[in-house]
Amino acid sequence: MTRVNEHGQPVGEPVDWTPLPRPAPVRLTGRYVAVEPVGEQHAADLLDALCGPDDAALWTYRADDPPADLAAMRDRITAWAAPGDDLTFALVPTTTGRAAGMASYHRIDPAHGSIEIAAVLLSRALQRTREATEAVLLLAAHALDDLGYRRLEWKLDSHNAPSAAAARRLGFRYEGRFRNAMVYRGRNRDTDWFAITDDDWRSLRPAYDAWLDPANFDADGRQRTRLSDLTAFHGSGG
- List of domains in the chain: 25-234 (3.40.630.30)
Q: Which of 215, 201, 197 is nearest to 31 (CA)?
A: 215
The per-residue pLDDT of the chain, averaged, comes to 95
The count of C-alpha atoms lying within 13 angstroms of the C-alpha of 19, restricted to the half-sphere facing its C-beta, is 6
Measure the CA–CA gap between 60 and 68, rounded to whole angstroms: 15
Residue 1 has pLDDT above 80, yes or no: no
Residue 237 has pLDDT above 60, yes or no: no
Rounded to 10 deg, the angle between the 130-141 and 198-212 helix axes is 150
Residues 112-143 pLDDT 10s: 999 999 999 999 999 999 999 999 999 999 99
pLDDT value at 33 more than 50: yes
Tell me what percent of the residues of the chain surpass a pLDDT of 90.
Answer: 95
Output the CA–CA distances (angstroms, integers) from residue 93 to 45, 48, 188, in the order listed: 12, 15, 35
Q: What is the mean pLDDT of residues 139-155?
A: 98
Residue 190's Cβ-side half-sphere holds a number of Cα atoms within 13 Å equal to: 10
pLDDT digit string, tens, across residues 203-212: 999 999 999 9
> How many CB atoms within 10 Å of residue 159?
14
